[in-house]
Chains A and B, each alone.
Chain A
Amino acid sequence: MTQLVTDGSAGERLSPRRSLLHRLDVKGSPYLYIAPFFLLFLGFGVFPLIFTAWVSLHEWSLLSDEHPWIGFGNYTALWADPAFWNALWNTASIWVLSTVPQLLMALVLAHILNQRLRGQTFWRMSALVPNITSVAAVAIIFSQLFGRDYGLINWVLGVFGIDKVDWTANSWSSHLAVSLMIIWRWTGYNALIYLAAMQAVPKELYDSASLDGATSFQQLRKITVPAIRPTIIFTVIISSIGGMQVLAEPLLFGGNGLTGGSDRQFQTLALYLYEVAFGRFDFGYASASSWVMFLIIVIVAAINFALTSRLRRS
């Protein structure tokens, strides 16, 4: 065996052409293998993002062939645009209403799932089934459930003596409805992510806590949460990125209307972007709002990171 190997490499050393090919293969092929990713990503990921910045500095309508340079004109117009601030407010409100209960419930659910359960796979699957349901389907099903006159939710509220709610009509009720769609779709997914992190926490910690008489809920608060804190922060960041992009729910909730309700009461930033770009074909203005959204996401992520490192140090 050893004989064979040395023979083989000796044979290679003898032929200079083959050894050159071999060196080329070793040095060059890694780049060949990662090239598809980078080429496609440069073309369809990075280039659009940079080009957005360029377009945002022009008056760029799809309806006209002239695209005059206006500097930061789109940005100053955006600053003065009440519809933009309204969309920003709605996005923040829906984000808080959906993320806070969602992550808390996901923690509890993961804590429940983190036991030696009978039928483990079934329970995990039932937690994840909302997440494989497409966002458009979720929005349509919940829009029906939230119907004013014949919706199931209003009927159930009626049983408890609560008056019918016109869910799309008000700011608070529509935010609540949209948030509920997001909560339903994402709680189980986050629970599984927490569960994965929880399984890495040493079991002995729980054992000694039980010996000391700690309840299950105390164990969750005092042991689990500190131990999986990085994962919690990860999910907060991911859900803030997702929260900035909420579009399908308000779009379909409002019967495919681009304004998110008659008074824009549930128009999110992404929906506003969609309206400006593909309702009014004002690409310059829409690009400016894309970049502002991007900056907001970066700032939110930076705040998250700052908070994290603070927490770690203390």
Chain B
Amino acid sequence: MATTLAPPPHRVSHTSSPRRRRLRRSFRRRPGKLTYLMLTAIAFFSFFPLYWSVVVASQDNSALGKVPPPMLLGGNLWFNLKRAFTMVPFEQALINSFIVSGAITISVVLFSTLAGFAFAKLRFRGRNILLLSIIATMMVPTTLGIIPLYMLMAKIEWTGTIYAVIVPAMVNGFGVFFMTQYLSEAVPTELLEAGRVDGCSTIRLFWHVVLPAARPAAAVLGMLTFLTAWNDFFWPLVVLTPEDPTVQVVLSTLSAGRITDYSLSLTGALIAILPLLVVFVLLGKQIIGGIMQGAVKG
């Protein structure tokens, strides 16, 4: 049944005369004005909430109570920033977030590259089943283990410290999977075999052959990991205290209460977004490439 319905793709495009080819080229989808109009609209909706956070962060609360709401920047940004840094421990939060995200990134990249090397290039018993179990871990929602994880942290007296946020995030299945895929293509097996014959130990092969080859993928994985770690909300909220928080935890403190001080809380949101936005403007192309690469494999 399927055979009659679906001809193989290559049969659809029959070989064509030069004239037909010319015709075809003219039919290739060429973006018109409408396309760019739609894209502009999409870009507007994407950027508007970010712009809006700058607008609100630069107003005082009485200006925000006007109808229609102010659409342009006000002069209160500096004042609101100062308020944000005095009313909640924002400085500490930024430092914590940088330490946490940096440590998680280094660890995930290192351990994923190591494990990815083993899965992609080394032969050992149980390799397939272990790799499969790693892929399965990607499907397990982390939210569900939060209660016993909290009990564990309480037991070893890590609650309220950033260790509790760093250590459980030091590995993840996606990283291993991502590096395995990349290394199995990027490192020629012959090169490793040649090294072996020369008496290279596995760790030296890793250091001198695999690590240099892994650099582009490691950079992408590092950026994606940093983004995720910086934006993580639930677990830090559970395990950290408002006195020694990460940036995302501070945001929840700022928005607490029945009547929210919006110019203050959106100033907080702005500070939380800004570091990632800078990274994104500089390295956006690579981040997008990484997401699309991961998608094709996933």
A residues near B, CB below 8 A? Answer: 5, 8-9, 12, 22, 25-27, 29-31, 33-34, 36-38, 40-41, 44-45, 47-49, 51-52, 55, 109, 112-113, 115-118, 121-130, 132-145, 147, 149-152, 155, 184, 188-189, 192-193, 195-197, 200, 202-208, 210-211, 216, 231, 234, 237, 241, 244-245, 247-248, 251-252, 255-256, 270, 273-274, 277-278, 283, 286-287, 290-291, 293-294, 297, 301
B18 touches A (CB below 8 Å): no
Task: Identify whether the interface residues of A are mostly helix, strand, loop, or mixed.
Answer: helix
Contact call A30/B52, Cβ cutoff below 8 A: no
Give Cα distance in the complex from A49 to B144, angstroms.
7
Contact call B148/A136, Cβ cutoff below 8 A: no
B28 touches A (CB below 8 Å): yes
- CB neighbours of B27 from chain A (8 A): 207, 210-211
B292 touches A (CB below 8 Å): yes
In the complex, identify which listed stretch (B77-85, B213-221, B258-266) lies at the interface while the others stay far away.
B258-266
Give Cα distance in the complex from A40 to B262, angstroms.
40
Choose from B13, B49, B292 the contact partner of A138 (Cβ within 8 Å): B49
Contact call A5/B39, Cβ cutoff below 8 A: no
Choose from B167, B254, B266, B291 the contact partner of A128 (Cβ within 8 Å): B291
- CB neighbours of B288 from chain A (8 A): 121, 124-125, 128, 192
What are 13 sample pairs from A and B whose C-beta atoms fall under 8 A apart?
A49-B148, A125-B284, A132-B276, A132-B280, A133-B273, A144-B262, A149-B65, A196-B295, A204-B12, A207-B24, A207-B27, A208-B12, A290-B144
Choose from B64, B119, B298 the contact partner of A150 (Cβ within 8 Å): B64
Give the residues from 127 to 163 in chain B that come closer than 8 angstroms, CB to CB, to chain A.
Answer: 127, 130, 134, 137, 139-152
B94 touches A (CB below 8 Å): no
- CB neighbours of A251 from chain B (8 A): 252
- CB neighbours of A45 from chain B (8 A): 137, 140, 142, 145, 168
Choose from A152, A193, A207 the contact partner of B13 (Cβ within 8 Å): A207
Contact call A48/B149, Cβ cutoff below 8 A: yes
Contact call A37/B292, Cβ cutoff below 8 A: no
Contact call B117/A129, Cβ cutoff below 8 A: no
Give Cα distance in the complex from A122 to B266, angstroms.
26
- Take A34-B130, A128-B288 as given contacts and tell me if A27 and B124 are in contact as well, using a CB distance cutoff of 8 Å: yes
Choose from A49, A126, A132, A149 the contact partner of B43 (Cβ within 8 Å): A126
- Take A29-B203, A125-B284, A205-B9 as given contacts and tell me if A247 and B233 are in contact as well, using a CB distance cutoff of 8 Å: yes
Give Cα distance in the complex from A248 to B176, angstroms.
28
Give Cα distance in the complex from A252 to B262, angstroms.
12
* Smallest Cβ-Cβ distance to A114: which chain B residue: B29
- Take A45-B140, A115-B31 as given contacts and tell me if A196 and B296 are in contact as well, using a CB distance cutoff of 8 Å: yes
Give, as a whole number of angstroms, the nearest-CB distance from B271 to chain A: 9
Give Cα distance in the complex from A255 to B202, angstroms.
55
Number of interface residues of B (CB under 8 A): 109
Contact call B13/A155, Cβ cutoff below 8 A: no
Contact call B9/A202, Cβ cutoff below 8 A: yes
B197 touches A (CB below 8 Å): yes
Contact call B231/A123, Cβ cutoff below 8 A: no
Contact call B67/A155, Cβ cutoff below 8 A: yes
Give Cα distance in the complex from A127 to B199, angstroms.
50
Contact call A127/B149, Cβ cutoff below 8 A: no
Contact call B255/A256, Cβ cutoff below 8 A: yes
Give, as a whole number of angstroms, the nearest-CB distance from A49 to chain B: 5
Give Cα distance in the complex from A12 to B251, angstroms.
62
Contact with A along B167-196 (1 / 0, CB 8 A): 110110100100000000000000000001
B277 touches A (CB below 8 Å): yes
Further contacts, 4 of them, CB under 8 A, given A139-B255, A140-B254, A210-B28: A33-B122, A36-B115, A45-B142, A202-B10
Give the residues from 90 to 136 in chain B that come closer than 8 angstroms, CB to CB, to chain A.
Answer: 111-112, 114-115, 117-119, 122-124, 127, 130, 134
- CB neighbours of A124 from chain B (8 A): 284, 288
Contact call B28/A207, Cβ cutoff below 8 A: yes
Give Cα distance in the complex from A109 to B35, angstroms.
10
Give, as a whole number of angstroms, the nearest-CB distance from A173 to chain B: 18
Contact with A along B14-40 (1 / 0, CB 8 A): 000000000110011111000100110
Contact call B67/A129, Cβ cutoff below 8 A: no
Give Cα distance in the complex from A197 to B39, angstroms.
20
Give, as a whole number of angstroms, the nearest-CB distance from B163 to chain A: 12
Give Cα distance in the complex from A211 to B247, angstroms.
55
- CB neighbours of B152 from chain A (8 A): 44, 47-48, 51
Contact call B268/A140, Cβ cutoff below 8 A: yes
Choose from B65, B111, B143 the contact partner of A273 (Cβ within 8 Å): B143
Give, as a whole number of angstroms, the nearest-CB distance from A138 to chain B: 7
Contact call A140/B251, Cβ cutoff below 8 A: yes
